[in-house]
Amino acid sequence: MPEQLPIDGFARSARARNGTYEAVGSVWDGEDAELLERLLSFYPRKRPKRILDATVNGGRFWRGSTRSIIGMDIQPQYKPKLVGDNSQMPFRGEAFDVVVYDPPHIPNQGRDNQKDFTVRFGLVQKSSKETGYSFSHTYPAFVREAYRVLRPEGVLLCKIADYIHNHRYQWAHVDLIQAAVAAGFQPCDCIVKVRKGPIIDPKWIVAHHSRRQHCYWLVFRKSDKCE
């Protein structure tokens, strides 16, 4: 039996279930909603009471969840609890225990020939040459706001994907980490989330790079330490 570790309040970095420590692995091949529930039960130092999903979209992360969240999105067609811009959040400082962030991953994405990521994940935004064909320029404003609205020791959970565009590898997860560190966050963990299949646009039948068949969940803490 794994060593049973002490718990401070509801949770420490070491999590117990039924009195037995249960680790979180660094690779996940299940659904995002299941993984997010594991993260919410593992990383916060105490049971999170106020959770903000700053990019809630259609709410697929919360299917089957009994947690009470505030879902915010800039797109009103998804009918979030709050229509708003996550770079200028209408909340007081230190209002949340956890913030969840799932930004558009792949600007200028064409229609996949097996599954329509444009519809499923809301990949409708474009990025110009001036912004490097990426969304990295949107990260600094968001993480500054996330830092402001999180309580001390609060947790930021981000889903992010790298991609190839304009014949260059776009290191989106590195850009997000750098922006978060600059805002004051401590980067604490990285989980590789495996996709069932890569995005394949009809224009990419022949490509001289590996197909992106994974993304990342990054864990940040508003603290000077992780554990």
Residue-wise pLDDT for 81-106, tens only, equals: 999 999 999 999 999 999 999 987 65
Confidence of residue 168 (pLDDT cuts 50, 70, 90): confident
Instruction: Specify which of 6-10, 51-55, 209-213 reaches the highest per-range mean pLDDT.
Output: 51-55
Percent of the chain with pLDDT over 70: 74
> In this structure, which topology does domain 49-221 adopt according to CATH?
Rossmann fold (3.40.50)
For residues 26 and 201, the model is more confident at: 26
Mean pLDDT of 159-178: 87
List C-alpha distances in Å: 44 to 2, 124, 198.
21, 33, 32
Q: What is the mean pLDDT of residues 199-216?
A: 75
Q: What is the pLDDT of residue 217?
A: 97
pLDDT band at residue 8 using 50, 70 and 90 as cut-offs: very low
Sign, Cα dihedral of 75, 76, 82, 88 = positive
Domain locations along the chain: 49-221
Q: What is the pLDDT of residue 212?
A: 76
Model pTM above 0.85: no
CA dist., res. 173 & res. 199, Å (int): 18
